[in-house]
Structure 1
Amino acid sequence: MDLKNTMTYRGDVTVGGAPAVRELDQLTITKVAVGPMENNAYLLRCRSTGEQALIDAANEAPRLLDLVGDAGLATVVTTHQHMDHWVALEEVVAKTGARALAHVDDAAGLPIPTQPLTDGDTVTVGDCTLEVIHLVGHTPGSIALLYRDPAGSPHLFTGDSLFPGGVGNTDRDPERFGSLIDDVEQKLFARLPDETWFYPGHGRDSTIGAERPSLPQWRTRGW
Structure 2
Amino acid sequence: MFDLKNVTIRSRSVGTMDNNVYVITAKDTGAQVLIDAADDFPALAQLLADAAEDAAVPAKVELIVTTHSHWDHVRALAEAVRATSARTAAGREDVPDIEVPTDVPLDHGDTVHSGASAGPGGFELEAIKLRGHTPGSVALLYRDPDGPAHLFTGDSLFPGGLGNTQKDPERFASLYRDVVERVFEYLPDDTVIHPGHGAGTTLGAERPHLREWKERGW
- Give TM-score, length-normalised by structure 1: 0.89
Q: 3-state DSSP class of the match of 2:93?
A: coil
Among 186, 192, 205, which residue is 1:191 paired with?
186
Q: How far, CA to CA, are the matches of 2:145 and 2:79 in structure 1? A: 34
CA deviation vs aligned residue, 1:121-164 (integer Å, no higher than 9, x gap): 11112511110000100000000001111111111000000000
Amino acid in structure 1 at the alignment position of 2:129: H
- Structure 1: unaligned runs, 5 residues or longer: 1-20
In the alignment, does 2:106 pair up with 1:117?
A: yes
Shift of 1:71: 2.5
> Which aligned pairs between 1:1-223 and structure 2 lie closer than 5 A?
21-69=1-49, 71-115=59-103, 116-125=105-114, 127-223=122-218
- Structure 2: unaligned runs, 5 residues or longer: 50-57, 116-121
Shift of 1:72: 2.5
CA deviation vs aligned residue, 1:59-116 (integer Å, no higher than 9, x gap): 0011111222372311100000001001000000001101111011001111211021
Cα RMSD (Å): 0.9
- Give TM-score, length-normalised by structure 2: 0.91
4+ long deviations beyond 2 Å: 69-72
Identity of aligned residues (%): 53
Q: Which stretch shows the higher mean deviation, 109-118 or 29-38?
A: 109-118
Q: How far, CA to CA, are the matches of 2:130 and 2:73 in structure 1? A: 16
Conservation of the 8 A alpha-carbon contact between 2:29 and 2:59: no
Aligned residue pairs, count:
203
CA deviation vs aligned residue, 1:2-31 (integer Å, no higher than 9, x gap): xxxxxxxxxxxxxxxxxxx11001110001
Amino acid in structure 2 at the alignment position of 1:49: T
Q: Which stretch shows the higher mean deviation, 124-133 or 160-169?
A: 124-133
Amino acid in structure 1 at the alignment position of 2:170: E
